[in-house]
Amino acid sequence: MTEDRPTPEQEVRRLYEEAESRLAKATERVVSSDSFGELLAMATENVVALTRMSFDALDLVWSNLRLAGRRDITRLAKQLGRTEDKLELVLQEVERIRDQVDGAGDNGAGPAAGAKPASARRRPQRSSSR
pTM of the model: 0.39
Annotate 13-73 with DSSP letters as a single string.
HHHHHHHHHHHHHHHHHHHTSHHHHHHHHHHHHHHHHHHHHHHHHHHHHHHHTT---HHHH
Res 127 pLDDT > 60: no
Closest CA to 58 of 78, 42, 72: 72
Q: What is the pLDDT of residues 69-84, one digit of tens each?
A: 788 889 999 999 999 9
Res 37 pLDDT > 80: yes
Q: What is the pLDDT of residues 39-69, one digit of tens each?
A: 999 999 999 999 999 999 988 888 888 888 7
Cα→Cα distances 17→5, 23, 118, Å:
18, 10, 86
H-helix or E-strand spanning residue 88: helix 70-106
Residues 6+ positions from 14 with CB-CB distance below 8 Å: 6
**Which is more confident, 103 or 120?**
103
